[in-house]
Structure formats: structure tokens, C-alpha cells
Amino acid sequence: MGKVILIRHGESELNAKGVYYGSLDPSLTELGKEQAKNTRNILKNIDYHRIYASDLKRAFDTASIVNFKDLNIVVDKGLRELNFGVFEGFTFEEIQTKYPKELEESQKNWKDYNYVTGESVVELQNRAIDFIAQNINLNENTVLVTHWGVINTILSHYFSKGLDAYWKFSVKNAGVVIIEFSDGYPILKGLNIGV
């Protein structure tokens, strides 16, 4: 029996600005660093054997703070956030003005729309689940420090066999989510632990 311990990065500079960003690479805010320190204290109660992080600064820096065991952090692009393509760096209001047709299509066809030069939520989910299949031993406890979209696609995969539950989870910055695996069967053991 093992656990996948999913941690969303702490607040970043672009979280605070309210813009779309996935592949952009902002730093953590001071609040984000404090959130990660709180999560470190939560993680001290959970044994883990390996820790992975997205290669984006906000996730890697969060991983560096929460990693109380000082294990080697394996960095992997497979844990990156959804690439929002042409929407990156803009607020919802700016996107409504600059890309109204694309915005409408992204809302109607949210699973498969690839954000023009970005990727679709289906592609993100495939990438995240492939990462787990190729890298994670479900009989060990593994920490993945990553992003909202990655966490929600993973949760949706295990608890709705697709993307039907994608919008049904609200993972806060530096929130801890635990999926326990019993003979490969996923059990949600915690959501937003510590926040």
C-alpha cells in the first residue's frame, strides 16, 4: 500500500495578478513561501520515499521548502501546468477583448480545446497519467509538487475515469492531497490538508 502525495505550489506572483499562466515561470510571493513552510510542517507527519517537482520555479521552490527529509528532488517537465498558449499572461477580461472566439471555443469544448499554441486538458491529463505510470511505484509514498491543473486531472482520472470530475476539486495553494493505493485501487485520503 502506497500513497501519492500531491502538493500544489504556493502562491506565485501571477496568482496574485489573476492572469492565465501555465508555462510562464513566475516566482513565489512571500505569502507563497509562508504557505510552503506551513505545508512542510504537515509533511513532517507523512513518510515519503521520493519527491518530484515540476521544472517551473514556483513548484520547484515549493518542493525545496516542503522537503524536510532533504531527499533529491527529481525535476520533470511532465508535471508542468497546462500550457494556455495565446491566453498566457492575460486576465480573463483581456482575453475576452483579444481572443473572444478562442475564449468561447475554449469554454464550449474545454476538454479538447488546445488554446492555440498550447495544449488541451485531455493532453495535460494524458501527460500527467503517463508520468505516474512511468515513474511512480504505487507501493511507496511519493510526493509530487505540481500545479492545479495537473492535480485535478490526476484526481479526475482516478475518481471519474476521465475528466468528468476535473472541475469538482478545489486545491488551494500549498494544499496537500493524498491518494492511497490499495492493490492499485485509489482511495482519496485527504484534500487541502493544512490549508
In 13-109, which residue ranges form alpha helices assigned H by DSSP? 13-17, 30-43, 57-66, 92-98, 100-108
Residue tagged active-site, from 81, 88, 119, 147: 81
Please report which confidence band the pLDDT of residue 16 belongs to, taking 50, 70 and 90 as the band edges: confident
Residue tagged active-site, from 9, 11, 88, 119: 9
- Of the candidates 133, 99, 93, the residue with the CA atom closest to the CA atom of residue 118: 99
Instruction: Read off the pLDDT of residues 121-152 as tens digits, 9 standing for 90 and up.
Output: 999 999 999 999 999 999 999 999 999 999 99
- 194 or 102: which carries more pLDDT confidence? 102
What separation in angstroms does the CA of 122 have from each of 83, 99, 113?
Answer: 12, 21, 9
Catalytic (active site) residue 9: yes
Helices (H) and strands (E) in the chain, counts: 7, 6
Catalytic (active site) residue 81: yes
Hey, what domains does the chain have and what are their CATH numbers?
2-83+118-193 (3.40.50.1240)
pLDDT, residue 194, reads 76
The residue type found at 88 is E
